[in-house]
Amino acid sequence: MTLAVRYKAARTLDMAPAQTRSPGPGEVELAPAYVGICGTDLHIFHGDMDARVTTPAVLGHEMSGRVVRVGPDVEGWQSGDPVTVMPLRWDGTCPACASGHRHVCRHLDFIGIDSPGAMQQRWTVPAHTLVRLPGSLALDRAALVEPTAVAVHDVGRAQVREGERVVVVGGGPVGVLIALVARATGAEVRVVEPSTHRRLLAEKLGLTAWDPAADDVPGLVGRWTGDAGADVAFEVSGAAGGVDTAVDVLGVRGRLCLVAIHPRPREVNLHRFFRRELTLVGARLYDRSDFERAVKLVADGTIPAERLISEVVPLTEAPAAFEALEAGGNVMKILVDCGNDTTGA
């Protein structure tokens, strides 16, 4: 018998036997090893996405694992291959798909939200979602490839260039990953984050972090840039104050990249956009090239994944892990161990 973590209703998760489905044509059965809990999972846990999620719902899309079985017509994969999953299924016919932007398909199936996810001991997915992992990469670290792909896509959307000055507002997992990817691109980076624990972690990773409650962030940016302002700001906090900060720190023709999912519409200082000719760009999800670069960044240590993992809990303790993340505190990324890591890593 295999087990799965399921969302039943707001703040209600359970453990239940999973219905393992044999892979059909074009499908692959996986043994998930580790699954990360992300902010979207917490939104589901809070009941904020009940209009979208069909219960009982198996959560999880940040994962690593191995191939168990391949279905008919699947080539290039075999049992034991280490993989992660780009959890997107698109229709291929809508205007977004026709223009080459399948990751924002109008009828997108985000696997782990719109259909069953990885927080189970066996998981059947389309073969086209698989992304190969190097055999040398530990599977616990590989579970951070998906959020790293988010960061790669965000930095690309903002067109960050070498030598530019970048402010990341929000120092949670995705914010720190954006800062690390931007730094790897050659930018100078500052992180704005109210949590002492997260600021200290950012600083241990070689990043400069500011406290918005205690520091005059626009003033610090002015001194850092000689009053020119930042070239790029990323809004990753999801808070109204974060939007204000991200707009305020930008210089002439600066770019604001919106990453966070805001629970409600926000007021934006459009006068500043007019005066400084600012640009606002949205960033959502990723494509395969983002995933492939993310694999390389995690594998070569540019992204020190092991230092971002706060805790690894067994599948049976996943419900408690959601509550721990909700409470905040000294937590960055919690992984759920599905019991399928045979590498000893």
Closest CA to 284 of 66, 88, 37, 126: 88
In angstroms, rounded to a whole number, what is the distance separating the alpha carbons of residues 249 and 217? 8
- Of 289, 277, 232, nearest in space to 258 by CA: 232
What is the rounded CA–CA span in Å between residue 73 and residue 95? 29
Closest CA to 258 of 159, 166, 158, 161: 158
- Among 39, 21, 219, 37, which Cα is nearest to 116's? 21
Instruction: State how far the Cα of 152 lies from the Cα of 181, in Å rounded to an integer.
Output: 6
Return the amino acid letter for 341. Answer: D
**In angstroms, rounded to a whole number, what is the distance separating the alpha carbons of residues 165 and 251?**
10
Helix runs in the chain, H state only: 39-45, 95-98, 139-142, 145-157, 173-184, 196-204, 217-225, 240-248, 270-276, 288-299, 305-308, 318-327
| The pair of three-digit structure tokens given for residue 37, joined into one six-digit string | 């809990």
Active site residues: 40, 43
Tokens, residue 178: 């954006």
Are 126 and 345 in contact, with CB atoms under 8 Å apart? Answer: no
SS3 279: strand
